Structure 1
């Protein structure tokens, strides 16, 4: 499907060079496999990756002053976002709005793998438990 959402002639490049960073070492252990802050790349978002084989495991309850978007890459997770409880599987996306406490856990069976997009050039977080 071809898309033409805007006229490229109306956007001038801002002069930033392309950039590259390593998000995670595929051989590394542990659930938090890595992150790249947008500031390191000259971008506006920070990207984290989380993965665990342990059913029930997940990040602790926390909050950010910006939105966080979760992409479930593999497995199934239960997200607790404010008063909402959302189950999401591979290929689904969940939004944690700014200022709303949230966490998620692996529903199993098997591995849960997520990519977590922080809508900020730096990772800012307060743990609540």
Structure 2
């Protein structure tokens, strides 16, 4: 049985804090100051921070030494699936739950909810799909 509460999770959370600080500045900055769309703002966040995340999680978190294009493809697939699921769930959920709020409030809350959903899904995907240990 694989333990979820271990050193890998702690390292993933450290990397995640760094990525979250950078990504949050990108996403909310683009949305609120550059007046970019919800989808462009959130996608820019994950495209840019995913590059940093790949290297930090590969070598620091999961200490993976594989040099394989398939691993890069698995990582990219994981990011895309987690992004589409997290933000695809967050947007309609917040639209429904915050129906009386302004579009800006709904979108900002939705991006925050999407970030939380993405983090959990991404950890599972990176650990068990992108950087899975060979048995």
> What TM-score, normalized by structure 2, do the two folds share?
0.28
More helix by share: 2
The structure whose Rg is larger is 1
Q: Which has the higher contact order (CA 8 A, sep 6+)?
A: 1
* Bigger strand fraction: 1
